[in-house]
Amino acid sequence: LCAAVLLKDMKLLDVKLGQLPTWLAMRDFTPGGIVGALRRGGYDRYYNKYINVRKGGLGGISMVLAGYVVISYIWSYSHLKHERHRKYH
Question: 45-82: per-residue pLDDT in tens?
Answer: 888 887 777 776 777 788 889 999 999 988 888 777 76
pTM here? 0.42
pLDDT band at 2 (very low <50, low <70, confident <90, very high): very low
Burial of 60 (0-12, 13-18, 19+ CB in 10 A): middle
Mean pLDDT in residue range 26-35: 86
50: nearest Cα among 33, 70, 30, 67: 67
**Widest pairwise Cα distance in the chain:** 79
